[in-house]
Amino acid sequence: MVMIEKSESLPRAVPSCVMAVFGVTGDLAKRLLLPSIFNLATTNTLSEGFRLLGIGRKPWTDTILREYITKSLKTFLGKKPDPRTLRWLVDRTYYQPANFEQTASFDGIRERIKQIGKGTQGGSCLFYLAMAPNFTSSISQQLARAGLFREFGNSFRRLVVEKPFGNDLSSARNLNVELRKHLREDQIYRIDHFAGKDAVQDLAVFRFCNSIVEPLWNRSIIDSVQITAAETVGLEGRAQFYEKSGALRDMAPNHLAELLSLIAMEAPVSFDSKHFRDKQVELLESVRRIKPSEAPKYSVRAQYGAGTIEGKRVKPYRKESGVAIHSRTETFVAMKVEIDNWRWSGVPFFLRTGKCLSRGLTEIAVIFRQPPARLLTKALQHHQVVNDCVFSLKPTPGIHWTIGTKAPGMGTHVTVADMGYQFSAGPYGDQAKGYERLLYDAMSGNCILFQSSAFVEAGWQMVQPLLDYWEGKRGAHLPVYAAGSSGPQQADELLQVSGHAWRSL
């Protein structure tokens, strides 16, 4: 195993701006956004003119928010905050109480931004909606009415929207239409935190910057591809959201679609955001559209039951707080995806994601075809050599090749060896939250890691037939898998039909 030290020169500071975070007192902000902002401050990536405006329903003051940030960072940063950096940040932090249903509240936000934003680059502002998705449309309407999306001179006004972006294809299209009434496409930053991870960005660099790799990336050499996003955790208090979402909506049209597009897209003309994102969309639009009636052939859904994870008993999903006693919400999904283009025709892509599984990991496994002839007998070939290239994204980022080699000794025996490397931590070490690069790019105006409206709609198109089928089969049997297992037996059968098998978790 080789450890690769990534030398990285820190980027220059972003333009001065006000970052207005709606929902600053919520879980997303305290666990991820605030630590990420602090990390950026530690490397002087935020300019002297940076201002943080927290917006929420609570009747707080600037002082209360500053104390809250100080306490939250001590809990969620992962280490003791540097006192000097902490003082720098809290001195630039302000709070504005608001009722998101009242027009007057947005007039107050506008005036507060004017007040604290003096000295920023022409009044630039980044609005971040760390809110439930049902607020996206109404808040964007109110911000537009208050004139907060208007740009003057060299200033910018941008909106960052968290997933889920809609809950099906129709609602995603409607939300895109609604946002484009008030904003240009280049002002809308649809965020997927998967894209902020170095290991995910490595996928494109690995493929398109190494001449020894790209000749292998086609249907003649590759047998199949598996994309896995497995979690050991359950709901973690998110029953209200998850009951409406389920595993498919929560993961497939965004996270899994992002990984699918990166591993299978064609080479862009450049790493310019337009060229790159267009190729991602082109790939998703090449996914074979199935009929809802074909869903059982291409997918499996299931729900976790009682079990044991890391020695701890886990209760069934339906016994979780806030979950309906007869809930039909899936916590596991497996899909077979076929891509109808010149490069991938005939190569199956298998996608799976689930909660309360035996191990938490995110990986992409590219499995190569077997040699055309077996040169050594089974007796000499102790292990069946399956050549694969595995991109490990979590828990230990790295790239691993599995190859056949001669076992040490006098005879000629074949054994399996691993050839690979793992990446060292970036400038923020173990404290990195994955949002640092995304926040930096949003303030810098680089949208390459954010999803376009076309990408969002193509992602929903990929899963809409499954949603339509399941909606019409509400009373059908929903398989149950034991918590702490690798998922339901039906997921194994989905691959066995074509002679494939899942990699072990």
Helical axes 62-76 vs 34-42, angle rounded to 10°: 80
Q: Please give the pLDDT value at position 336.
A: 98
Alpha-carbon span 499 to 121, nearest angstrom: 59
pTM of model > 0.95: no
Domain endpoint, select from 112, 145, 162: 162
Residue 462 has pLDDT above 70, yes or no: yes
> Do residues 199 and 391 lie in contact, with contact meaning Cβ atoms separated by under 8 Å?
yes
d(CA 450, CA 258): 10
| Residue range 86-112: mean pLDDT, rounded | 96
Helix 257-264 and helix 273-285: axis angle, to 10°? Answer: 100
Residues 157, 200: one domain?
Answer: no
SS (H, E, C) 425-471: CCCCHHHCCCCHHHHHHHHHCCCCCCECHHHHHHHHHHHHHHHHHHH
Is there a single domain that holds both residue 282 and residue 355? yes
Same domain, 378 and 274: yes
Greatest pairwise CA separation for the chain in angstroms: 84
Q: Are residues 213 and 145 in the same domain?
A: no
Q: Residue 2: inside a domain, yes or no? A: no
State the DSSP H helix or E strand holding residue 275, giving kind and residue range, or none if neither.
helix 273-285
With respect to residue 429, please indicate whether it lies within any of the assigned structural domains.
yes
Per-residue pLDDT for 1 more than 50?
no
- Please give the residue range of the domain that contains residue 108: 14-162
Tokens matching residue 284? 């998703």
Please indicate, yes or no, whether residues 37 and 133 belong to a single structural domain of this protein: yes
CA–CA gap between residue 158 and residue 445 (Å, rounded): 9
Angle of CA points 453, 165, 288, to nearest 5°: 65
Same domain, 136 and 228: no
**pLDDT of 238:** 87
Q: Are residues 143 and 208 in the same domain?
A: no
Question: Do 477 and 332 lie in a common domain?
Answer: yes
**Is pLDDT at 428 greater than 80 in this prediction?**
no
Tokens of 214: 């790209």
| Boundary (domain end) residue, out of 119, 147, 162 | 162
Same domain, 73 and 133: yes
Domain membership of residue 381 (yes or no) is yes
Mean pLDDT of the chain: 91
Residue 34 is part of a domain; what is its CATH number? 3.40.50.720
In a domain, 260, yes or no: yes
User: Are 269 and 335 part of one and the same domain?
Assistant: yes
- Structural domain tally of the chain? 2
Gap between the Cα atoms of 438 and 447, Å rounded: 9
Q: Which pair of structure tokens corresponds to residue 36?
A: 């990420």
Same domain? For 410 and 269 the reply is yes
CB-CB neighbours of 297 under 10 Å: 11
Q: What is the pLDDT of residues 306-350, one digit of tens each?
A: 999 999 999 999 999 999 999 999 999 999 999 999 999 999 999
Q: Has residue 228 been placed in a domain?
A: yes
Q: Which of 10-24, 61-75, 379-393 has the lowest mean pLDDT?
A: 379-393
Are 213 and 104 in the same domain? no
pLDDT of residue 4: 47
Say which CATH number the domain at 272 has. Answer: 3.30.360.10
3 state DSSP class of 355? coil
Which positions are catalytic? 255
| Residue in the structure block whose two tokens are 């499954």 | 466
Place of tokens 């809409």: 464
Instruction: Report the half-sphere exposure of 450 (CA within 13 A, side-chain side).
Output: 27
- In the 8-state DSSP scheme, what is residue 86? H
Domain membership of residue 184 (yes or no) is no
Q: Is residue 427 domain-resident?
A: yes
Q: Is 38 domain-assigned?
A: yes
pLDDT in tens, 388-411: 999 999 898 899 999 888 778 777
